[in-house]
Structure 1
């Protein structure tokens, strides 16, 4: 399974699975929190699909000897100029890919007072997720992806931007006011 078609199909399938979860959670936690939790899970799945599936179905097996011997620590590193979604380049995609996760994270935990701790911890979790993705890309040479510190910086930047957007949305939507419909 590879290529952009598989990424899109996987994203749609994840959405189809998570919509019933959102509807179920909505009944107990209110519509904002229910949809935010499902949205956070969906965005984490989409991030995995976009970053861990080979971009081209015809890649085949990439020999381990042809991969970089270590992760690129050169900021700006081996990232290509463009990618299939954005003509602005892979860096813009890496940033935008993490924005929904950051926003949904804040909305998902803001209903509770513990959200004051859970939101920053979740943001650190998204940074750790980015590091895990890069490590996986390094270890699995066959997916023909490059491990690059620039990706981590861009991913975390996107999560922080999403986090800020989520803070604004929390003030507008006030998830703690939405009572369960029981």
Structure 2
């Protein structure tokens, strides 16, 4: 049996991760400045939260998933049987799958913008890493039937779309916040 689950566990995990990331930002900021330190640790936090939301059973511990109920492969039905939405938020699950990756994409650009010349290569590599993370999550959902989640190629496409939108939004955000600069107040 999967020993835990539910929204409360997700929220507790997000809170613990937030505290750890806040401490990390405080420790890093002296060397890098607040803008970049916060961007880095918010990126780490957003990736952790994605893992929590997608790999912890949403409705508590599901117990035993019978072999007959376990999928043997990912659903390749694009646009497939996605439910109407996660009960916490309004809107379709497909929109939520995209939206959850937007902050990570934007924060990725903020982090790599510290090195403007390398960012041209690092941003697409980071985007590819976020897409790989999504694929890894979906295959983990397939392998671990006890978490009562389903592997779906539509989720991968929606997650990749959200990460790409976030990356595009991160470019003007980086020019506004300029994480490569340290303010005189921070020095």
Q: TM class by shorter-chain length?
A: over 0.9
Q: How does the TM-score come out when normalised to structure 2?
A: 0.92
Measured against aligned partners, the alpha-carbon deviations of 1:83-125 in whole angstroms (never above 9, x if no partner) come to: 0232212111111110110011000110113222111100000
Deviates more, 1:136-145 or 1:58-67: 58-67
User: How far does the alpha carbon of each residue in 1:20-64 deviate from its partner, in whole angstroms, 9 at most, with x for none?
Assistant: 111111111111110111011101100000000001114212123
* 1:83-98 aligned within 5 A: 83-98=86-101
Give the aligned CA root-mean-square deviation in angstroms.
1.4
Post-superposition CA distance 1:125-159 (Å, at most 9, x none):
00000000000001111111110011001101110
Query: Partners in 2 of 1:164 and 1:91 — Cα distance?
Result: 20
The size of the alignment, in residue pairs, is: 182
1:179, distance to aligned residue in structure 2 (A): 5.3
d(CA) in 1 for partners of 2:61, 2:14: 21
Segments of 5+ residues of structure 1 without an aligned counterpart are: none
Q: Please report the TM-score for the alignment, with normalisation by the length of structure 1.
A: 0.95
Tell me whether 1:36 sits opposite 2:15 in the alignment. Answer: no
Q: Partner of 1:167 in structure 2?
A: 171
Gaps of 5+ in 2: none
Moved over 3 A (4+): 179-182
Instruction: Say yes or no: does 1:119 pair with 2:115.
Output: no
Give yes or no for contact 1:86–1:92 (8 Å, CA) kept in 2: no
Q: Give, in whole Å, the separation in 2 of the partners of 1:32 and 1:58.
A: 39
Aligned partner of 2:55 among 52, 57, 66: 52
